[in-house]
Amino acid sequence: MDVMRWLAKSPRPTVGEKSTMQAPDTPSRTAKQLLHLVFGGELKSLEDVEFADVSDLDIVGIYPNYAQAYQAWRGVAQRTVDNAHLRYFIVHVHRLLDPGATAPS
């Protein structure tokens, strides 16, 4: 799913509710650590998400929240915009570590 469409569908905090997304330089005392992995590589074709060479994947980093992961993803995606086969993704590692956990409301 395209990241911008996912962001548009993401629930927004209501009045009086704290957001779980913090700016990178904003310390949070109550927010739970939600790890995100940013990685990418060259795809075999534009129709599928199958990498041409998994040994050549670019691991950008692991980030403590979505806001920082998105910032890193956006930076690397913009630098590689000229190569349509080179794609980067954000993986919600916290969902893999604790699949039974409910999303923060």
Tell me how far apart the alpha carbons of residues 64 and 66 are, in angstroms, rounded to a whole number.
7
pLDDT averaged over 10-residue windows placed end to end, the chain, 105 residues? 50 47 53 89 89 92 95 93 90 88 60
CATH of domain 35-105: 3.30.70.2400
- What is the pTM for the complete model shown? 0.64
Q: What is the pLDDT of residues 83-95, one digit of tens each?
A: 888 999 999 999 8
Token readout for 56 is: 């050549």
Q: Identify the pLDDT of residue 27.
A: 55
Paired with 90 in beta bridges are: 38
Query: Which H or E element spans position 92?
Result: strand 86-92
The DSSP-derived string for 6-17 is: HHHHSPPP-TTP
Q: Identify the pLDDT of residue 88.
A: 94
Tell me how far apart the alpha carbons of residues 54 and 35 are, in angstroms, rounded to a whole number.
22
Tell me how far apart the alpha carbons of residues 52 and 30 are, in angstroms, rounded to a whole number.
41
* Domain locations along the chain: 35-105
